[in-house]
């Protein structure tokens, strides 16, 4: 009874994590595009982005803890920390570990953004574009529910939403109205300081 409960928790929390993480990525892209309307102020995008990211961590913790504690696979805690150290489905579980650690790095640097500075924070935050696909591939590779219709529909919706957001972002010109003037100024300043 406890075993099946743990196993169902792992699968459910994994699926919820995938949905939440996809929503976080989409919201992150939307915030750089400065989406806004009368009913949707811009702080809503960044606020939801941050809070859903923290909520994702909660479900990921549930996903990982229930998987490790589950006596059927007896994965051990090392597999949750060191990628590709699990005897069980080594490659697919390793991808999950990597995705989780990338996400942990993004969240920790975001919480310490004021300390480490904007430039370092931004570099680490680009890892989001690595973490999300690795997490989704982990789900496709080892997910117990991959062949069930409900999971397929969810996964396709998630992948489609993120892909669409990224395509729209790539096609969108910079939203900063002074972007070109600002760049000229920065180039001018660096030329002056490095003769």
Partner 1 sequence: MREGLHLSIDRIKCDGHGLCAELLPELIRLDDWGYPIIAPGPVPDHLLPLAQRAVATCPVLALALRRTAASK
Q: Note the residues at the interface with partner 1 (CB under 8 A).
A: 31, 34, 41-43, 46-47, 113-114, 117-118, 176-178, 182
Q: Residue 103 class from Cβ within 10 Å (0-12 exposed, 13-18 middle, 19+ buried)?
A: buried
Nearest distance in Å: CB 166, partner 1: 18
Nearest distance in Å: CB 47, partner 1: 7
> Based on CB atoms, which residue is closest to partner 1, 50 or 89?
50
> Based on CB atoms, which residue is closest to partner 1, 164 or 178?
178
Nearest distance in Å: CB 97, partner 1: 30
Tokens of 112: 């310490």
> Based on CB atoms, which residue is closest to partner 1, 41 or 104?
41
Cα–Cα dist 52/68, whole Å: 24
Cα–Cα dist 21/186, whole Å: 35
Nearest distance in Å: CB 25, partner 1: 16
Cα–Cα dist 38/17, whole Å: 30
Measured in degrees and rounded to the nearest 5, phi and psi for residue 148 equal -85, 150
> Based on CB atoms, which residue is closest to partner 1, 36 or 148?
36
């Amino acid at each position: 009874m406890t075993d099946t409960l743990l196993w169902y928790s792992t699968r459910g929390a994994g699926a919820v994590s995938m949905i939440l993480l996809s929503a976080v990525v989409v919201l992150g892209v939307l915030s750089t595009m400065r989406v806004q309307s009368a009913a949707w102020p811009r702080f809503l995008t960044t606020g939801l982005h941050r809070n859903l990211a923290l909520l994702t961590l909660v479900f990921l913790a549930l996903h990982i803890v229930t998987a490790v504690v589950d006596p059927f696979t007896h994965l051990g805690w090392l597999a949750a920390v060191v990628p590709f150290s699990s005897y069980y489905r080594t490659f697919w579980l390793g991808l999950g570990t990597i995705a989780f650690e990338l996400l942990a790095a993004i969240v920790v640097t975001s919480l310490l953004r004021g300390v480490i500075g904007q430039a370092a924070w931004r570099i680490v935050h680009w890892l989001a574009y690595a973490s999300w696909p690795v997490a989704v591939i982990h789900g496709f590779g080892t997910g117990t529910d991959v062949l069930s219709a409900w999971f397929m529909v969810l996964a396709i919706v998630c992948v489609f939403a993120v892909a669409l957001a990224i395509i729209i972002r790539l096609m969108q010109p910079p939203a900063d109205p002074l972007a070109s003037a600002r760049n000229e100024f920065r180039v001018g300043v660096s030329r002056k300081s490095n003769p």
